[in-house]
Amino acid sequence: MDIAGIAVVVMAVTLVVLAGALIPACIEIRKTAVASRETLARIEADLQPVLRELRETLAGTKLIVEETAANREDVTTFMEALGDTGRSLRTINSVAGSVAGVMASSSLWLTGARVAGKFMFDRLLRKEGKQHGKQ
């Protein structure tokens, strides 16, 4: 064998070793590709219901926002009416307090007038009693 023959044998052995190393690597690459496809298919199958539910939720949220925007004027009117009611109640409370104050002071005046009237009546009766007693 000459040098060319030895070189051919070395190249052949190298190709066999390389092929022996590449075959398991290619098999692993193929298995990984198959597993990746299966994983992607499962993820897609799992995501479809989630995405459908998300779309439904977003549609519901959009509907709620639209209804809220449509009813905003009603809510504003209601809040204004509620404020007016509060102010009216405050006015009524103030008037009731004033009336109670007047009633309390009137009651005091009436009581004072009764006591004064009774006192004066008693004094008149005593004076008349003394004058009738002297005669």
Q: Report the chain's mean pLDDT, rounded to a whole number.
A: 85
The model's pLDDT over 4-28, given as tens digits with 9 standing for 90+, comes to 889 999 999 999 998 888 898 899 9
How far from 84 is each of 5, 78, 97, 124, CA to CA, in Å?
110, 10, 20, 59
Neighbours of 127 (CB within 10 A): 10
Q: How much is the pTM?
A: 0.38
Please name the residues in contact with 83: beta carbons below 8 A apart, sequence gap of 6 or more. Answer: none
Q: Domain limits of the chain?
A: 1-99
